[in-house]
Structure 1
Amino acid sequence: MRRNLAWLTASFLLAMAAAGPAGAQVLRIGLGAPATSLDPHFHNNGPNNALTMHLFDRLVERDALARPQPALAEAWSQISPTEWEFRLRKGVSWHDGKAFTADDVVFSFERAPHVPNSPGGFGAFLRAIERVEVVDAHTLRLHTRQPHPLLPIDLGSVSIIPRHAAANAGTEDYNSGKAVIGTGPYRLGEYRAGTSVTLLRNDGYWGGAEPWEKVEYRFLPNDGGRTAALLAGDVDLIDQIPFTDLARLKQDPKLTVTEIASLRTMFLAPVYTIGGEHPQITDHAGRPLPQNPFHDLRVRKALSMAIQRDALAERVMQGAAMPTGQWLPEGAFGHNPAVQPTPYDPEAAKALLAEAGYPEGFRVTITTPNDRWPNDARLSQAVAQMWTRIGVRTAVDAMPYAAFVPRRTRQEFPLQMAAWGSSTGEAINYLTSITGTYDRAKLTGAANMWRYSDPKLDAMTARAAATLDDGKREALLREAVAYYAETMPYIQLVQLTNSWAMRRGLRHDPRMDERTVAMGIRPE
């Protein structure tokens, strides 16, 4: 009997040890890119959005496939082409116990487009709203300037914050933790900028308590270090798997890898506010050029012809990307199957450069982060080598993302590695935020750090956004995609594949928007 009891006790202890953090209700996540703020309205970028999703809710959520789902709004309906009614969920409390009401939504919509010093905000998602009507504490009517069928999807990007706690709060109050009061499934435990975040379960969450009592977010931008942390058991899951480790991790019996087509595209963006005389665009003797050559479509097309996108996808990205000439994967709403990547043709590229007035080429620097997107610096280096072969001698200036962002916002670099994930899962998001003319009043171009502007493309976007019929709207968007490919404001490179690796015993729902969220991770 004692032998049986000892055997059962040992088996139980071994099982508990194998369960590890899941048994202790602690989940440890290693992230490839750090969040830069806890202010949910400060910067519309992937790491920030993923983190603040734990703390704050939105009227509408988007699931792993970017489909809209009820959240703080339990239902909505379109009353007329320009009027929507949203019925808010009752019985929802803020983390401090106060009740959530329609007035908090009004306040959030007022604040989100106007956060000081935002490097790329959320105004584009609210641009269509002309007036917010409060019917009662749990009913809102949103009046749009024109028909806007994507309103529910857009609202999936705007976090709701409490007026009573945030009326006088700035971004610094969020980063200190003082203003971080949401309705989300987790409360803030501790925030160490650039290092880690500890999240504590909100047991009173309206959607039901999460399985994890505590979530530890660790920012591990070094690729090798992130993989090593997973293999050593220091973290339970990592995102942005280094491509050099992907095959090995897939074969490890102690691990599971999940993948999904990404909504993120990577591209090279010239800065259109730079006219000339910049030290990073010179002739071969080092003299700054009098004009910015990227303003010439022939130069952009020539450089696009000089890129072997198949090699970028297969060698640099190790098969975890696809060559592209647009910004959405196949099957997404607005993807144009007729638009293909620019064919590789270095001789035609040289001829087009000569036609543009650069028969000998020139010198240029690509500025890139080295810790934000998968293989961002390596991708830049590969493009630099390809351009150098046609006479455009290209250097690469790589730096941490935290240093890159403020200088990018000031348009200091004439040519930048860039990326965008269309979190709404359709084409208007990119057309409004990335190519849309920067206009604070119209709330367009919020993430257009390069200040490209084309009134014709703006008009095409506006027309598509106001078209209620889905088939007609998609046809208009495909026309806009074709026009974009013809005018080439930015040089598209690849469409990514998102991947995660985790210890056995976890179930993960991979997201097309690449966000790593504890709400999508469950014990098996």
Structure 2
Amino acid sequence: MLSLFRGIVRQPRNASRHLLLAAGTALLVAAAPAALAQEFKLAMSSPPTSLDPHFYNLFSNLNVSDHMFETLVKMDADSRLIPGLAESWTLVNNLTWEFKLRKGVKFHDGSEFTAEDVVWSLDRTATIVNSPGKFDVYTKAIINKKIIDPYTIRLTTKEPYPLMLADLTSVYMVSKKATQGLSSDDFSSGKGMVGTGPYKFSKYLRDDRIEMDRFAAYWDKKPASWSKVTLRFIPNGATRLAALLAGDVQALENVPTPDVARVRNDASLTMVSKVSHRLIYLYLDGLRDKSPFVTDKDGKPLDKNPLKDIRVRKAISMAVNRDAIRDRVMEGLSQPTNNLVPLTLFGHNPDLKVVKYDPEAAKKLLAEAGYPNGFGITVHTPNNRYVNDEKITQTIAQMLSRIGITAKVEGMPMSIYSARGIKQEFSMGLLGWGAQTGEVSSPLRAIAACDDPVKGFGVTNWTKFCNPKMDVILSKAMNEVDDKARLKLLQEATAITVNDYGLIPIHQQVTTWAMKKGITYIPRTDERTHAYEFSQK
């Protein structure tokens, strides 16, 4: 058994909370007997926008990357930290972490994974250009990287940084030899697709499928259930389910909500579900004096942006009937919220109750703000990324009409949506964020904080909405190593964010998986769908 506490001088309490589980926790990967090894076809609900594991911190990209690339630290099905390519770690002093790498780990081209590849991978995240959501938010705190030997590396931060381990679960290790000189576009042809994961790249058809072969030299033999894996990208829920029923795939993610009862009652299928850490929310352009998709009731652009008024933003929140969305749109597969993370994650604020649906009070707020007759707005949304994303947005638009806001909806594929969103082209839209670090600092940093490239704040804050007071408190929390004090700071930062209505929480998404009878899967809080974690009984 690995000793993860070897040589620790001092360790932040919140880090130790996770590390206690790490030493004896095996990866939640089930393996089929060798005799059953075969091709496994899995239907995914959203295609990747890039195969470069450092290009865009988008869930559909991560889902694919997980099969071929790995991180120093991983998370289990309940978002607890466990060893990855680093077999152990110690806190040398308040600012320095030492990581011991697994020896004998091979890349898919046969070369050895060493500390030099770690430095290269950590540095590369900052070099990516035109990314809608960069990974360097997870490496900003590191000010020095020192290679002790090929299997030992020390990472130093400017200030005590309790999120080091959690951040490293999001940075994939790539081969320096295989990726030097490549652009992100090169990865789609297979160049640079050289990881250490259980499967290696074989073939990619954009928006259709990616094929992978089992990596025979993988350091952990357990995920070798299937000799070949095909991830098919089928955004349409009905088509995805039809593929499962026809036997074209053996499993799928995100059961279409209208078909949940049918799938549960089908003796030939198995379904599992779990409340995820993914927040579905509305973002509002409350910063600019003029906003591109805000008009009067006749469709003429307004000289003054009503979204700058907190009363208007609050009215929009009060106009959303979250319970109705859960019951009528999501078929019960959502958890209405006014938080940024679910109850099970660190930083959840129990004092933030779900906003009460109150259209009459919302109308009064609009009148007080100077919009007694409302105004017009276009609400943008992806239509192939989240469960019922466009349907949710259409429902919200109808609810807004009841308080006098004439809302039109424009949906588009996530690849187009994200490319436009990062350019601040929208006034209001629907988006989702998963707390990848297993706590509320993840959404606070990425979608709520003021835009600050130096700190890595606001990387997915598409409207650049900013509350400096929240940022000050969040920055304190990022350097606080005492759990109790840090929790209080994070909860305070969450309250400021939510009560300022720069973003409006709608619900935590419930994730579902369905598979042919005889195949099992352990549902994950992080929503990840890993072919190597499906197994045959």
Structure-2 separation of matches of 1:423 and 1:247? 30
Structure-2 separation of matches of 1:141 and 1:176? 34
Counterpart of 2:234 in structure 1 is: 220
- Kindly report which structure 2 residues correspond to 1:92-111, keeping only aligned pairs within 5 A, or say none: 92-111=105-124
1:271 is displaced (CA, Å) by: 3.1
Structure-1 separation of matches of 2:457 and 2:415? 25
Counterpart of 1:257 in structure 2 is: 271
1:334, 1:477 within 8 Å by CA — same for their partners in 2?
Answer: yes
Q: Return the letter of the residue paired with 1:135.
A: I
1:430 is displaced (CA, Å) by: 0.8
Higher Cα radius of gyration:
1
Name the count of aligned residue pairs. Answer: 504
Structure-2 separation of matches of 1:45 and 1:216? 20
1:79, 1:85 within 8 Å by CA — same for their partners in 2?
Answer: yes
Counterpart of 2:368 in structure 1 is: 355
1:400 is displaced (CA, Å) by: 2.0
Structure-1 separation of matches of 2:225 and 2:149? 34
1:69 is displaced (CA, Å) by: 1.0
TM-score (norm 2): 0.92
1:334 is displaced (CA, Å) by: 0.6
Structure-2 separation of matches of 1:426 and 1:277? 32
In the alignment, is residue 314 of structure 1 matched against residue 324 of structure 2?
Answer: no
- Kindly report which structure 2 residues correspond to 1:440-479, keeping only aligned pairs within 5 A, or say none: 440-479=453-492
Counterpart of 2:378 in structure 1 is: 365
- Kindly report which structure 2 residues correspond to 1:41-80, keeping only aligned pairs within 5 A, or say none: 41-80=54-93
Q: Return the letter of the residue paired with 1:241.
A: V
- Kindly report which structure 2 residues correspond to 1:48-447, keeping only aligned pairs within 5 A, or say none: 48-208=61-221, 210-272=224-286, 274-276=288-290, 278=292, 280-447=293-460
Structure-1 separation of matches of 2:147 and 2:484? 33
Cα deviation per residue 1:164-218 (whole Å; 9 max; x = unaligned)?
Answer: 1111111012111011111111100101111100010001001115111000100
1:136 is displaced (CA, Å) by: 1.1
- Kindly report which structure 2 residues correspond to 1:498-517, keeping only aligned pairs within 5 A, or say none: 498-517=511-530
Counterpart of 1:3 in structure 2 is: none
1:273, 1:411 within 8 Å by CA — same for their partners in 2?
Answer: no
1:304, 1:342 within 8 Å by CA — same for their partners in 2?
Answer: yes
Structure-2 separation of matches of 1:60 and 1:383? 39
Structure-2 separation of matches of 1:77 and 1:452? 38
Counterpart of 2:3 in structure 1 is: none
TM-score (norm 1): 0.94
1:24 is displaced (CA, Å) by: 5.3
Structure-2 separation of matches of 1:512 and 1:121? 23
Structure-2 separation of matches of 1:305 and 1:316? 18
Q: Secondary structure at the match of 2:99?
A: strand
CA separation of 1:465 and 1:22: change in aligned 2, threshold 3 A? farther
Structure-2 separation of matches of 1:523 and 1:168? 42
Structure-2 separation of matches of 1:147 and 1:24? 47
Structure-2 separation of matches of 1:297 and 1:227? 43
Counterpart of 2:19 in structure 1 is: none
1:403 is displaced (CA, Å) by: 2.2
Counterpart of 1:6 in structure 2 is: none
1:336, 1:478 within 8 Å by CA — same for their partners in 2?
Answer: yes
Structure-2 separation of matches of 1:36 and 1:277? 27
1:269, 1:450 within 8 Å by CA — same for their partners in 2?
Answer: yes
Q: Secondary structure at the match of 2:172?
A: coil
Structure-2 separation of matches of 1:430 and 1:207? 32
1:113 is displaced (CA, Å) by: 2.4
Structure-2 separation of matches of 1:518 and 1:476? 38
1:22, 1:523 within 8 Å by CA — same for their partners in 2?
Answer: no
Q: Return the letter of the residue paired with 1:234.
A: D
Q: Secondary structure at the match of 2:126?
A: helix
2:509 paired residue among 474, 486, 496: 496
2:97, 2:156 within 8 Å by CA — same for their partners in 1?
Answer: yes
User: Which residues of structure 1 form unaligned runs of 5+?
Assistant: 1-18
Q: Return the letter of the residue paired with 2:254.
A: Q
Structure-1 separation of matches of 2:88 and 2:373? 62
Q: Return the letter of the residue paired with 1:146.
A: E
CA RMSD of aligned residues (A): 1.5
Counterpart of 1:5 in structure 2 is: none
Structure-2 separation of matches of 1:304 and 1:22? 55
1:30, 1:217 within 8 Å by CA — same for their partners in 2?
Answer: yes
Structure-2 separation of matches of 1:269 and 1:40? 26
Structure-2 separation of matches of 1:520 and 1:388? 45
1:273 is displaced (CA, Å) by: 5.7
Structure-1 separation of matches of 2:285 and 2:515? 39
2:91, 2:97 within 8 Å by CA — same for their partners in 1?
Answer: yes
Structure-2 separation of matches of 1:341 and 1:114? 40
User: Which residues of structure 2 form unaligned runs of 5+?
Assistant: 1-31
Structure-2 separation of matches of 1:113 and 1:501? 38
Q: Secondary structure at the match of 2:137?
A: helix
Identity %: 41
Q: Return the letter of the residue paired with 1:520.
A: E
Q: Return the letter of the residue paired with 2:239.
A: G
1:22 is displaced (CA, Å) by: 9.1
Structure-2 separation of matches of 1:22 and 1:347? 65
